[in-house]
């Protein structure tokens, strides 16, 4: 794996919108917070473009990705929001450019597709964390969400346990491997493509939002049929939330997780505040991690050098 260099005070952080359009006011407000930490901010040329549900054309969004990676003054790239659209240009990314200019890349949700493609094509460790316009622009952002940005400032090992919130053991045991994954629907959409998620001997992180239980069931079944669940070493279940449930049972994902993951004889830990939630526990993807379901702990090695 390739580890990006950590940030130093005064470094420049680039901000882009590879998927859906970002709100200018919220993006500026959150960028001001990064400035208060001592960083310079460089907005992508097309960050506020809009084409229906996309942040401008595919060519414009791809241009911002390439420009930020090629710019040696930019030491980290943070996405303003998710939405939809990253996969539309993933096959046109110049991965040799990214490999020649490795740097911090941060986001989640639709950005999962870019995390998977970049890691598997270049070996670069990237970061699954809250985005500026959609997560970090409000006055009441939990301190934990802000504090987890500190893993970019120096190599820091992370530990997630019940001091952060209650966790549930769906299957006991322990396993180690690279932590990979992210948004469940984006992982499933990679199947059958050149950027299909590789789960072999990996700890697979899954999270999602506004997906009905039958949809989560269908997606996990597709991963099962593709062999991705059997190949994984263990499972980390982040935040799943469905507010449109008509009754309590309709919004209960536990039987689904137990059906697909509980009988694999691999450790499964549920309830981590990772994903579409606050606080949002940001994690590096592609680093070594240890999942100890028996002790309800997840240890993750640093994502920067």
Set 17, 46, 86, 109: catalytic member: 109
- Whether the per-residue pLDDT at 244 is higher than 70: the answer is no
pTM for this entry: 0.96
Lowest mean pLDDT among 65-79, 202-216, 235-249: 235-249
Is 274 in contact with 283 (CB distance < 8 Å)?
Answer: yes
Give yes or no for a contact between 284 and 125, defined as CB atoms under 8 angstroms apart.
yes
Our answer to whether residue 207 is catalytic in this structure is: yes
Residue 248: what pLDDT? 55
More reliable by pLDDT, 194 or 132: 194
Predicted local confidence at residue 302, as pLDDT: 98
Domains 12-152 and 158-300 share a fold: no
106: nearest Cα among 84, 73, 142, 135: 135
Q: State how far the Cα of 264 lies from the Cα of 270, in Å rounded to an integer.
A: 15
Per-residue pLDDT at 217: 96
Between CA 185 and CA 264, with CA 114 as vertex, the angle to 5 degrees is 45
| Digit-coded pLDDT (tens) for 106-124 | 999 999 999 999 999 999 9
Q: What is the mean pLDDT of the chain?
A: 95
Residue 54 confidence (pLDDT) above 70:
yes
What is the mean predicted confidence (pLDDT) over 13-22?
96
- Out of 115, 207, 211, 280, pick the active-site residue: 207
Q: Which fold has domain 12-152?
A: Rossmann fold (3.40.50)
Averaged over 186-201, what is the pLDDT? Answer: 98
Query: Which listed residue (6, 115, 276, 280) is catalytic?
Result: 276
Of the chain, the percentage scoring pLDDT greater than 90 comes to 90
The class that CATH gives domain 158-300 is: alpha beta
Report which DSSP code applies to 109.
Answer: G
Give the pLDDT score at 250.
59
Domain segments of the chain as ranges: 12-152, 158-300
Q: State the pLDDT confidence band at 172, using cuts at 50, 70 and 90.
A: very high
């Amino acid at each position: 794996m390739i580890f990006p260099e950590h940030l130093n005070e005064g470094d420049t952080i680039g901000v882009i919108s590879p998927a859906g359009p970002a709100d200018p006011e919220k993006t500026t407000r959150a960028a001001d917070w990064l400035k208060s930490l001592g960083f310079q901010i460089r907005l992508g040329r097309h960050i506020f473009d809009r084409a229906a549900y996309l942040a401008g054309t595919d060519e414009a969004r791809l241009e911002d990705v390439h420009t930020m990676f090629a710019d040696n003054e930019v030491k980290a790239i943070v996405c303003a929001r998710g939405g939809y659209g990253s996969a539309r240009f993933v096959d046109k990314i110049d991965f040799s450019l990214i490999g020649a200019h490795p740097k911090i890349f941060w986001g989640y949700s639709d950005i999962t597709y870019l995390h998977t493609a970049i890691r598997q094509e270049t070996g670069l460790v990237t970061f699954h964390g809250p985005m500026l316009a959609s997560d970090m622009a409000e006055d009441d952002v939990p301190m934990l969400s802000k504090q987890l940005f500190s893993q970019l400032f120096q190599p820091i090992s992370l530990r997630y346990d019940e001091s952060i919130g209650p966790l549930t053991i769906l299957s006991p045991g322990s396993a180690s491997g690279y932590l990979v994954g992210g948004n469940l629907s984006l992982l499933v959409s990679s199947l059958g493509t050149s950027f299909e998620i590789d789960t072999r001997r990996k700890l697979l992180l899954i999270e999602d939002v506004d997906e009905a239980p039958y949809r989560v069931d269908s997606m996990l079944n597709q991963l099962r049929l593709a062999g991705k669940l059997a190949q994984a070493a263990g499972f980390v279940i982040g935040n799943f939330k469905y507010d449109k449930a008509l009754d309590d049972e309709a919004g209960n994902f536990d039987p689904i997780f137990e059906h697909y993951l509980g009988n694999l004889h691999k450790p499964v830990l549920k309830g981590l505040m990772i994903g579409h939630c606050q606080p949002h526990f940001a994690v590096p993807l592609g680093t070594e991690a240890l999942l100890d379901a028996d002790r309800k702990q997840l240890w993750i090695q640093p994502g920067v050098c």
